[in-house]
Structures are given as C-alpha cells and as structure tokens.
Structure 1
Amino acid sequence: MVEVGVHEAKTTLSALLRRVATGEEITISSGGRPVARLVPVQRGAERVLGRDRGVFELPDDFDSPLPDDVLDDFES
C-alpha cells in the first residue's frame, strides 16, 4: 500500500485515482498520520429490470391521498 501526504494527494489526485482504478489502495496522511484511504469501488451485481415482475401488484389507489388520520401522524 502506498502512502502520500495531503499536499501530494491534492496535486496528483487524478494520477492517484488512475492507480486506484487498477486496484491499488492509497493511504493519505497528514503530519505523518494516516487520515484517509483511497480504495477501488466494489461493484455490485448488475441490476436486472423486471426481475420481480409478478411478485408484487401495485394497488389502483397507490397514489390516492392518504386518510386524514394517517396524515395527522406525519404532522405530529
């Protein structure tokens, strides 16, 4: 793992981000103490649209105004 100071991180951020994109982790230190770490983003599984089709039905009154007693609960 590479360690860089705050000043170097500010002046070379684009280059550091390119390194992180390749999988490298970089620690940023201030006054010789680690304060932050640049790490690659963990990509989740790709979302599949319509995967739950048929599991849930949207009621016809989904966007109807809420009853007064429910609205009162939000306002108190």
Structure 2
Amino acid sequence: MKLVNVHAAQTTLSQLLADVENGEDVVITRYGVPIARLTPLAKKPIGREPGVLRAHPAWRAFAYDPKVFTPMTGEEPEAEGWM
C-alpha cells in the first residue's frame, strides 16, 4: 500500500493510476490522515485463445447448412407457423 499526500496525488495522478492498474493500492492522506483509497475497479480481462471451443463435443458435431441463410419462399412462412 502506497501513502501519498494530496499535493503529490495531484501532481502524479497519471503515475498513481498506472500503479493502481498494476494491482497496488494507493491511499491519499491530508496532514497524515487517510482520506481516500484508489483501488482498481475490475481485474484485467482474461486473454482468449482462438479455437478453444473446437475441443467441445458439441462443436465437433456441428455441420454448416447454407439453407439456413436462404430467404423463405411464399409457402414456407405459413408452413413454419409465421403467418
């Protein structure tokens, strides 16, 4: 935990925010009395690896069907219950 007085916090705010992003807590003091604490709001996002879901069993059974994206003809909406 880093203790910083108000004047130093005003002049080095960018550096203090970088320290907070790196996981350090910063306490701002006035006349030696703690008045505020800077802490990170959220953890850094977890990195993703492309292709990880390919190992999932449901993905192995996936088959692309181009008919899914073709427009419906005149009778198909009624047959599907859309009208």
The TM-score normalised by the length of structure 1 is 0.55
Larger radius of gyration: 2
Deviation at 1:26, TM superposition (A): 0.3
Q: Does 1:37 align with 2:37?
A: yes
The TM-score normalised by the length of structure 2 is 0.50
**What is the root-mean-square deviation in Å for CA atoms of aligned residues?**
1.5
1:16 is matched with 16
Give 1:3's aligned amino acid. Answer: L
Unaligned runs of 5+ in 2: 44-83
Comparing both structures, which one devotes a greater share of its residues to helix? 2
Deviation at 1:4, TM superposition (A): 0.3
2:28 is matched with 28
1:7 is matched with 7
- Percent sequence identity is 49
Map Cα deviations across residues 18-61 of structure 1 (whole Å, 9 max, x no partner).
Answer: 00001100000001000000001125xxxxxxxxxxxxxxxxxx
Q: Which has the higher contact order (CA 8 A, sep 6+)?
A: 1
Unaligned runs of 5+ in 1: 44-76
Give 2:24's aligned amino acid. Answer: E
Deviating runs (4+, > 2 A) in structure 1? none
1:49 is matched with none
